[in-house]
């Protein structure tokens, strides 16, 4: 008869009990899968619209905010990416974004008679980022503004703003204005002149809301202060961008709750 070392068995059992206590009997219910280019192509080729898994069930990576928001090699939330529509060399192709920042949350949604797609990311400062692609472009590259969000707000929250107010007033309503300010502050007066005064772009903050969207355009005065010159609000989630008009529609479950 084979004899077992009871002392070793006791040690193994104690170790197993400790492991179960620390980690639980079940594996984590959080999903941390990453989508490849091939995965996204399969999603786009499907007739189904994708709204799951829910963000609460995904273990989203928390990208370092400084790097992801201000040193991003694929897109910039404070630049209208339609600026690059006429450029033969672009850096915001969907395939490039997927390889650089593999998305964990991919959504497809019915959008004014066509399909649109967006990726959802998060940073370690609790900013949520939405990057959009549209069927009209065959989902090849991101269009307009990537959307950033820290709170779920509505159109009513912006109703008291008026021309002549500053970005400070906007920040009191929506904290993402501070991130836009930081982005624009990195640009020299010469670049501001080239892009936003002589060029076609506008200094803007874009606020995706639960019942619509608001785009606010500013000018930067000689003191470096951003003054509101135009407020565009829409309950159909559509705003003008350099390449026309885009509808930034997302699933209600993807807002910050």
pLDDT (0 to 100) of residue 210: 98
Domains in the chain: boundaries = 37-254
123-143: per-residue pLDDT in tens? 999 999 999 999 998 999 999
Q: Model's pTM, two decimal places?
A: 0.86
- Residue in this structure with the two tokens 């070793």, named with its chain if needed: 8
The pLDDT of residue 22 is above 60: no
199-215: per-residue pLDDT in tens? 889 999 999 999 999 99
Query: Strand 114-123 relative to strand 147-149: parallel, antiparallel, unpaired?
Result: unpaired
């Amino acid at each position: 008869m084979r004899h077992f070392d009871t002392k070793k068995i006791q040690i193994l059992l104690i170790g197993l009990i400790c492991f179960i206590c620390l980690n639980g009997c079940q594996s984590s219910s959080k999903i941390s899968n990453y989508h490849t280019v091939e995965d996204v192509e399969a999603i786009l080729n499907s007739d189904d619209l994708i709204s799951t898994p829910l963000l609460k069930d995904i273990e989203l990576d928390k990208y370092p905010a400084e790097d992801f928001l201000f040193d991003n090699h694929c897109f910039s939330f404070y630049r209208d990416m339609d600026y690059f529509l006429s450029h033969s060399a672009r850096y915001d192709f969907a395939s490039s974004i997927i390889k650089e920042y593999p998305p964990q949350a991919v959504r497809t949604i019915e959008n004014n008679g066509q399909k649109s797609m967006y990726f959802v990311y998060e940073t370690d400062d609790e900013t949520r980022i939405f990057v959009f692609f549209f069927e009209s472009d065959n989902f090849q590259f991101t269009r307009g503004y990537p959307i950033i969000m820290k709170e779920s707000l509505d159109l009513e929250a912006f109703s008291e703003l008026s021309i002549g107010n500053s970005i400070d007033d906007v920040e009191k309503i929506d904290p993402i204005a501070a991130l836009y300010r930081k982005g624009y502050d990195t640009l020299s007066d010469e670049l501001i002149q080239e892009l936003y005064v002589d060029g076609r772009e506008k200094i803007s903050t874009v606020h995706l809301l639960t019942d619509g969207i608001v785009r606010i355009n500013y000018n930067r005065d000689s003191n470096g202060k951003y003054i509101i010159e135009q407020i565009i609000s829409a309950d159909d989630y559509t705003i003008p961008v350099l390449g026309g008009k885009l509808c930034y529609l997302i699933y209600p479950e993807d807002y910050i709750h």
